[in-house]
Amino acid sequence: MRNKVTKAIFPVAGLGTRFLPATKSIPKEIMTLVDRPLIQYAIDEARAAGIKEFIFVTSRGKGALEDYFDHSPQLENELRKKGKDDLLEILKSTNMDSGTIAYMRQHKALGLGHAVWCARRLIGNEPFVVILPDDVIAAEKPCLQQMVEAYEKTGGNMVAAMEVPPEKASSYGVLDVEEDMGSMVSVKGMVEKPAPGTEPSNLAVIGRYILSPHVLKNLNKIKSGAGGEIQLTDAIAQEIGSDRGVYGYRFRGQRFDCGSKSGFLQATVAFGLSRDDLRDDLHDYLTGIMAAERVAQ
């Protein structure tokens, strides 16, 4: 019987320099998308997929991220006294039970592969998930839940994938497809940030992974790859041809790159328009801006 996937790694050690000066004092992962921090979207997605243990790979200056998941007795008491039960329930959804969350330090910025490797002792010999909070995915059924359901049939290693314009493929890890089965593809190769014109496809790897513990053993042996960093893609690629195999999963949903300012703004508008309490005002505002722009032209 295949092991259930219950552990997830969240690599959150980055400095978030693209969002300076905001990230001078707060971790990028708790910047708010509408009214929830980026990391909360990732946690909620993991919970929906059955994840029970949450491992954060952090660095110096991430104390606010750790505090976010802690209980806040004073604030909870104030809300209780004022009868603000709806806000109290929202607050409780951000709390993590004792023993379900762990923090590991990545002392040197040696890449995503190295960040995952830092959590190896907490993963042990079990399959695990890696979630990149910068990739926020709006979907009717959460992306990771879709992947876990597919993984229950395939096992092995699975990466979320989406088609990107060919001219943008050099910014991603790209799949070399062996067999296209619709929502699923079997993979015969993976290339991290291929030189323009050399990409094997336009099917790019997005920040959701379900991985065999063998990937951690592969990371033990890997030296720096593209960009002078230890690439997770390289360790996954070593699984190709094994009896475990590597699969790409075309998820159903819209991905926003919240590691970039434009992606963050697009996500803010999209998530705002999806909210019943915000949609009408935001829609009217955007319509007014567009009308004014047309008049000005």
Pairing verdict, β 128-131 and 203-211: antiparallel
User: 3-state SS of the chain: helix, strand, coil percent to 5?
Assistant: 40, 25, 35
Of these ranges, 23-27, 75-79, 201-205, 280-284, the one predicted with the greatest mean pLDDT is 280-284
A 10 A CB-CB count for 63 gives: 10
**All domains of the chain, ordered by start, with CATH?**
7-259 (3.90.550.10), 260-297 (no CATH)
Model pTM score: 0.88
Mean pLDDT across 56-64? 82
Distance CA(18)–CA(11), nearest Å, equals 17
Res 182 pLDDT > 70: yes
pLDDT at residue 198 in the model: 84
pLDDT category, 25, cuts 50, 70, 90? Answer: confident
* Cα separation of the two ends of the chain: 64
The SS3 assignment for 104 reads strand
Distance CA(195)–CA(178), nearest Å, equals 21
- Omega before residue 213 within 30° of 0, cis: no
**Closest to 240 (Cα-Cα) out of 187, 168, 198:** 187
**Closest to 4 (Cα-Cα) out of 51, 56, 57:** 51
Between these two residues, 71 and 187, which has the higher pLDDT value?
187
Distance CA(100)–CA(107), nearest Å, equals 23
pLDDT category, 15, cuts 50, 70, 90? Answer: confident
Exposed / middle / buried, residue 288 (Cβ in 10 Å: 0-12, 13-18, 19+) = exposed
**Per-residue model confidence as pLDDT tens digits over 225-282:** 555 677 888 888 888 878 788 999 999 999 999 999 999 999 999 999 999 999 999 9
pLDDT category, 18, cuts 50, 70, 90? Answer: confident
| DSSP 8-class letter at 35 | T
Give 152-203 as a DSSP string. Answer: HHH-SEEEEEEE--GGGGGGSEEEEEEEE-SSEEEEEEEEESPPTT--S-SE
Question: 95-109, 203-217, 256-270, 274-288 — which is least confidently predicted?
Answer: 95-109
pLDDT at residue 24 in the model: 83
Of these ranges, 57-61, 63-67, 77-81, 287-291, the one predicted with the greatest mean pLDDT is 287-291
Average pLDDT of the chain, as a whole number: 87
Give 227-289 as a DSSP string. Answer: GGS--HHHHHHTTTTSSS-EEEEE-SSEEEETTSHHHHHHHHHHHHHT-TTTHHHHHHHHHHH
pLDDT category, 223, cuts 50, 70, 90? Answer: low
Question: 67-71, 172-176, 182-186, 217-221 — which is least confidently predicted?
Answer: 67-71
pLDDT at residue 160 in the model: 95
**Per-residue model confidence as pLDDT tens digits over 129-181:** 999 999 999 999 999 999 999 998 888 899 999 999 888 888 888 898 888 88
Share of the chain above pLDDT 90, in %: 40
Q: Which residues contact 159 (CB under 8 A, 6 or more apart)?
A: 173, 175, 187, 205, 206, 208, 209, 236, 246, 247, 248, 249
Continuous segment of H or E residues that includes residue 221: helix 214-221
Distance CA(254)–CA(38), nearest Å, equals 16
